Amino acid sequence: MTELVAVDIGGTNARFTIATVKDNGAIELGEVVTLPTHAYASLRSAWEAFAEKLGRPLPKDGAISFAGPVDGAVLKLTNSPWVLRPALIPSMLGLDRYELVNDFGAVAYAVSRVGPEYLQHICGPDEPLGKEGAISIVGPGTGLGVAQLHRGHRGHITVITTEGGHIDFAPLDKLEDQILQRLRTRYRRVSVERIVAGPGLVNLYEALAAIEGRNVAPDIDDKELWKLALSGDDVLASAALDRFCLSLGSVAGDLALAHGAWNGTVIAGGVGVRIADHLPISGFSGRYTAKGRFEARMAQIPVKLITHPQPGLLGAATAFAEKHCR
């Protein structure tokens, strides 16, 4: 049995727990402690605060999920003053072994571990994800995360993190042609992340308003807009949500084709969980499968939504276990 500190670092909060990797490979997460990043000067300060709350010395192994690329000498969070220098992590945090993984790579690792109770069916055949081969993970949140999980022989897994959220947006009907035209006046290049991510709902809402000649409040808050869209109290917000789901289906299907992910697609991210009940009754499925000569094959791919409450922590611990506990 191996104990380790698992940390999921986002721009707003850092979540800590003690994870246990059992001799049979199973992973258990302890009580989760959430610390706001703005309240601590650095990861080391928050790490020490977690140790104080825990009331005992921390394990000498660690796993860190970080909201950003992890391949540089200096890592900086977008919305936080925290700076990480991977080479100094062992000495700064008192670790003998550690694993550092991108936050969406951590989600992919979590997908490899969760049981069916944490994979809500969205569309396609209602069957488990394939045991061998590629699976696409697509996560609308503050941005659009994309990763690929490959399951090999004897349970070996490989996670590939990508910047798939920055591929070009491709309109598929006349209304989307107009939406793209509107967004081009704001952005030099319109990537799918400009639409299929939390702030993307505002872009859709404002574009639809302009197309219909409606006046809308300037600088509308995307969180408030999401509430309106999901409640159905605002016709234009609801229309923007419908367009969001259509585009998410198109993008998820395109990525499955690009990845050769015949074993499944998993939707993740904070927005994914928020629209969990809406996706199955939206136009997501039709757009996901509408891939011309591959339509019949796309219809055979199970599409799930990961509902685990702490995929970042589970994924970080899994990344550590895959490297150090096999």
Indicate the SS3 state at residue 150: strand
**Closest by CA position to 3, among listed 274, 326, 325:** 325
CA dist 4 → 95, 140, 246 (Å): 10, 29, 41
8 is in an annotated binding site: yes
Q: Is there a binding annotation on residue 277?
A: no
CA separation for the pair 163, 147 (Å, rounded)? 8
* DSSP code for 154: G
318 among annotated binding-site residues? no
The answer to the question of whether 281 is labelled as a binding residue is no
Q: Is 32 marked within a binding site? A: no
| DSSP H helices in the chain | 43-54, 89-93, 103-113, 174-184, 200-212, 222-231, 235-259, 269-274, 284-289, 295-298, 311-324
Choose among 69, 59, 76: nearest CA to 18. 59
Cα–Cα distance list, 107 to 140, 230, 241 (Å): 12, 25, 24
Was 10 annotated as part of a binding site? yes
Structure tokens belonging to residue 97: 């072994």
Annotation: binding site: 7-12
Annotation: binding site for ATP: 7-12
